[in-house]
């Protein structure tokens, strides 16, 4: 068994961390996840752990076997008479609006006259057990009139078939520069999507309330959208719908919009039958019926000078969106925003197509299009290096945003220049130059195993690109014993958001985190919440919680000044402090709990609603210019791989990461997010392959044929360091978001594999390497290299 080496953490330990307001376990400390013990001992309650309510029914859906067809007839008589079946519904039984689309619509809860992907729900069954429900749906008789199915990006481009209009961002005159550039290169890469593969599958439970409403507990990143869509499906006002989320067993974007169908279906049956309903998708159904990361076909033409500095570039990014818009507008926009990654483009034109295919609608996934957009520019950097005979790192450093090159292709300036210094630090700490020489020597001496090395950066914009989503609310309550309960609009999916909010509140009052409890996210506590997405969960909800703390603290300080001032002493706000579980008022200190009780007895309000909205941001789609991001999170990774050139099999030998988190709220949680994000990104780019047959049926529909990384895929040598430099923008305790950016650090693994392949040509040629870079694809990339060198040792053809 391979020995797994724990990543080095060079961030300050709790012992050396400054204590903000004397808060034990507060901001800056590596406090454990608030549910860590519950996760370990099994007491953390997920929806399927909730004790079965009396008369609970289970849901299953009957779905399309055709990618594109008209429904000629639907016979459900055998379904209705099946054992255990209590109710069967079609679109005709929906009292309100038959659509669960998150933005533009086009996602019917149940298909009407036509189906547009294999797996699209046509009818649903409620039965006394899940097994009976699943058996019953198989008894349906559906007659189809097949229609031509459009399954690939290339087909959609040829037909000019898009779910939303094409969008273009432009700066300068790229065409003129391309014509006059001393060096030119053109290329393309196909970047496949990714299955979310969250540990807890899609699930919701709903029951009717006494006032004619619905209460739903759901595994979703967006409880307010669930509330809204249930209201529309049932045609009832939103104040009769409560949507609740305590925790999710993973989400990664797959529960932002995709959870809505389950919650709405459970609510539909609960409303019809006045009984509690649980809808849990079996893993195979989940993989077939829910959206994934978008495939992208990226093409480019670029011009550059003798140093490798880009003069101009055109990118065409085409996304496989599926049959409906879902969140594809924002996803392709973000791919376009991040087409530069960390590099100044100068003159550029970026075009984004949202291609319609008769497949499940693809959706949000960690990075939200950004990773796919970055792949083109990183491939381009390697190709420039190959053409000029330079080290790819030197080409990357040459093209970085600098103090005199700050404007992006969408008009925002990169104001904080983090990456030049960060990359220099990592280049030194990872011993990049020495290892590059060692690898060159190794490759010269070894015929059948080649090594590759790559250092790639990440610059990732933080904020929702839809302006109104950049807001959050929080409700803080202090009880007379000095304990606190905070409710906010963010959702916990394992990332540690609740823990960081707990730390923020404890630090604000200078108390131990044990005094603070974070309650389940509920739409009847904090309304109109934004999804926990775009890496903004802590930025938004942390600031909202801080605002609630400030409101209460202001009232408490005013009370202390009034209550403790006398003829001899006139107190000011500067005389009052909250620290070390004490409230210091002038020369005296009072235990926090006692002071709170005194405040209550003097009728001081001990609750507050906080709110935050992100400043400065805007984007004008008509001009394709603006400032869509408040700031950028940055990072870089060095990856080393070894490749068997006879088989294409490979191993990731070593990874060194330096990642920018601003002033870390919780170093342990941040390192965990970086490790997890990197491994998930590595899976996307190496082992996780989505496959459909030529009729639009998903083949990779189970863990047996879809391979996520395991513990044995984690590099034996993996080092993660935090680049702690305060955020220059005003954020919660000067921190930076850490959820999505680390995933893109894994591009270094893909680049290292390509580097290893190119070493077989002495870096005179670099092959195309589509993703995921499975051993088979690496094998064919090696064959392309051998053909360049004039060899014919490998036979076969690329699939």
Q: Cite the active site residues.
A: 740
Is cis: bond before 772, omega within 30 of 0?
Answer: yes
Beta bridge partners of 588: 585
Surface-to-core class of residue 199, CB atoms within 10 Å of its CB (0-12 exposed, 13-18 middle, 19+ buried): exposed
Instruction: Count CA atoms within 13 Å of residue 105 on its CB side.
Output: 5
- CA 41 to chain centroid: 28
DSSP 8-state code for residue 479: -
Gap between the Cα atoms of 490 and 593, Å rounded: 28
Gap between the Cα atoms of 637 and 618, Å rounded: 31
The answer to whether 752 touches 765, Cβ cutoff 8 Å, is no
Gap between the Cα atoms of 281 and 283, Å rounded: 6
The answer to whether 671 touches 11, Cβ cutoff 8 Å, is yes
First to last CA, the chain: 33
Please name the residue that has the structure tokens 């040459």.
Answer: 398
The answer to whether 519 touches 501, Cβ cutoff 8 Å, is no
Q: Helices 775-788 and 747-758 meet at what angle, rounded to 10?
A: 30
The answer to whether 751 touches 392, Cβ cutoff 8 Å, is yes
Q: Go through 275-299 and write b for each residue having 16 or more CB atoms within 10 A of its CB, e for each that does not.
A: bbbbbbbeeebbbbbbbbbbbbbbb
The answer to whether 559 touches 507, Cβ cutoff 8 Å, is no
Gap between the Cα atoms of 242 and 260, Å rounded: 14
Question: Which helix (H) or strand (E) element contains residue 183?
Answer: strand 183-191
* Pairing of β 203-208 and β 277-280: antiparallel
Tokens of 731: 């954020």
DSSP 8-state code for residue 68: S
Alpha helices in 565-662 (DSSP H): 592-601
Contacts of 89 (CB under 8 A, 6+ apart): 110, 123, 124, 126, 268, 269, 272
Gap between the Cα atoms of 627 and 619, Å rounded: 6
C-alpha distance from residue 341 to each of 88, 334, 626, 782 (Å)? 50, 11, 17, 27
Gap between the Cα atoms of 121 and 112, Å rounded: 10
The answer to whether 93 touches 312, Cβ cutoff 8 Å, is no
Q: Among candidates 559, 547, 552, which has minimal Cα distance to 603?
A: 559
Alpha helices in 511-574 (DSSP H): 537-564
Long-range contacts at 435-438 (CB < 8 A, ≥ 24 apart): 435/640, 436/391
Tokens of 339: 């087409």
The answer to whether 666 touches 648, Cβ cutoff 8 Å, is no
Gap between the Cα atoms of 615 and 603, Å rounded: 35
* Pairing of β 582-585 and β 521-522: unpaired
The answer to whether 668 touches 30, Cβ cutoff 8 Å, is yes
Question: Which helix (H) or strand (E) element contains residue 374?
Answer: helix 370-388
Instruction: Count CA atoms within 13 Å of residue 15 on its CB side.
Output: 0
- CA 196 to chain centroid: 10
The answer to whether 502 touches 546, Cβ cutoff 8 Å, is no
């Amino acid at each position: 068994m391979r020995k797994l080496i724990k990543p080095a953490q060079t961030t300050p330990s709790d012992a050396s961390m400054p204590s903000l307001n004397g808060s034990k376990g507060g901001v800056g400390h590596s406090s454990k996840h608030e549910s860590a013990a519950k996760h370990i001992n099994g007491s953390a309650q997920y929806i399927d752990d909730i004790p079965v309510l009396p008369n609970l029914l289970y849901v299953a859906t009957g779905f399309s076997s055709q990618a594109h067809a008209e429904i000629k007839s639907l016979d459900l008589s055998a379904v209705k008479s099946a054992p255990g079946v209590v109710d069967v519904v079609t679109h005709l039984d929906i009292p309100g609006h038959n659509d669960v689309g998150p933005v533009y619509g086009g996602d019917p809860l149940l298909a009407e006259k036509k189906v547009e992907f294999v797996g699209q729900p046509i009818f649903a069954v409620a039965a006394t057990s899940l097994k009976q429900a699943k058996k019953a749906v198989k008894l349906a008789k559906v007659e189809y009139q097949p229609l031509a199915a459009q399954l690939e990006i290339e087909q959609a481009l040829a037909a000019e078939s898009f779910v939303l209009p094409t969008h273009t961002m432009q700066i300068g005159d790229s065409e003129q520069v391309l014509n006059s550039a001393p060096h030119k290169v053109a290329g393309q890469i196909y970047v496949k999507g990714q299955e979310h593969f969250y540990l807890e599958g899609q699930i919701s439970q709903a029951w009717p309330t006494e006032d004619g409403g619905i209460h739903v507990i759901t595994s979703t990143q967006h409880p307010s959208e669930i509330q809204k869509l249930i209201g529309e499906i049932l045609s009832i006002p939103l104040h009769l719908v409560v949507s609740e989320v305590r925790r999710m067993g993973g989400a990664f974007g797959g529960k932002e919009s995709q959870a809505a169908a389950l919650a709405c279906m459970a609510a539909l049956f609960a409303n019809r039958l006045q009984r509690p309903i649980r809808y849990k998708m079996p893993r195979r159904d989940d993989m077939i019926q829910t959206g994934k990361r978008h495939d992208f076909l990226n093409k480019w033409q670029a011009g550059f000078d003798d140093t490798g500095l880009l003069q101009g570039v055109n990118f065409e990014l085409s996304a496989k969106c599926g049959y409906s818009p879902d969140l594809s507008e924002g996803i392709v926009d973000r791919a376009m925003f991040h087409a530069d990654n960390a590099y100044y483009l100068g003159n550029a034109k970026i075009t984004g197509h949202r291609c319609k295919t008769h497949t499940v609608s693809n959706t949000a996934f960690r990075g939200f299009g950004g990773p796919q957009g970055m792949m083109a520019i990183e491939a381009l950097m390697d190709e420039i290096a190959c053409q000029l005979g330079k080290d790819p790192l030197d080409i990357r450093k040459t093209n970085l945003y600098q103090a005199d090159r700050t404007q992006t292709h969408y008009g925002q300036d990169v104001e904080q220049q983090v990456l030049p210094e960060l990359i220099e630090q990592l280049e030194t700490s990872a011993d990049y130059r020495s290892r590059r020489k060692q690898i060159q020597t190794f490759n010269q001496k070894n015929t059948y195993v080649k090594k590759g090395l790559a250092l790639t950066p990440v610059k990732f914009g933080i904020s929702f690109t839809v302006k109104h989503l950049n807001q959050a609310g929080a409700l803080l309550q202090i009880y007379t014993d000095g304990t606190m309960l905070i409710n906010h609009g963010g959702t916990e999916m394992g990332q540690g958001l609740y823990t960081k909010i707990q730390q923020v509140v404890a630090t604000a009052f200078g108390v131990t985190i044990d005094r603070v409890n974070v309650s389940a996210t509920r739409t009847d506590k904090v309304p109109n919440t934004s999804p926990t997405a775009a890496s903004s969960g802590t930025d938004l909800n942390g600031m909202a919680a801080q605002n609630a703390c400030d409101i209460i603290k202001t009232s408490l300080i005013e009370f202390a000044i009034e209550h403790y001032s006398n003829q001899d002493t006139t107190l000011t706000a500067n005389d009052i402090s909250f620290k070390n579980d004490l409230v210091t008022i002038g020369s005296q200190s009072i235990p926090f709990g006692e002071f709170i009780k005194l405040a209550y007895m003097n009728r001081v309000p001990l609750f507050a609603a906080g709110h935050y909205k992100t400043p400065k941001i805007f984007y004008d789609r008509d001009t394709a210019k603006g400032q869509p991001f408040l700031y950028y999170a940055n990072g870089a990774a060095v990856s080393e791989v070894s490749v068997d050139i006879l088989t294409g099999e490979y191993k990731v030998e070593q990874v060194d990461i330096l990642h920018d988190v601003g002033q870390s709220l919780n170093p342990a949680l941040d390192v965990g997010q970086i490790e997890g994000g990197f491994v998930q990104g590595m899976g996307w780019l190496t082992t996780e392959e989505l496959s459909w047959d030529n009729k639009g049926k998903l083949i990779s529909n189970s863990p047996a044929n879809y391979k996520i990384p395991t513990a044995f895929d984690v590099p034996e040598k993996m080092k993660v360091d935090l680049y702690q430099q305060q955020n220059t923008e005003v954020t919660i305790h000067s921190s930076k978001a850490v959820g999505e950016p680390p995933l893109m650090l894994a591009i270094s693994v893909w680049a290292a594999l390509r580097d290893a392949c190119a070493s077989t040509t002495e870096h005179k040629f670099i092959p195309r390497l589509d993703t995921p870079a499975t051993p088979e694809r690496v094998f064919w990339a090696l064959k392309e290299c051998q053909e360049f060198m004039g060899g014919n040792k490998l036979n076969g053809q690329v699939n």
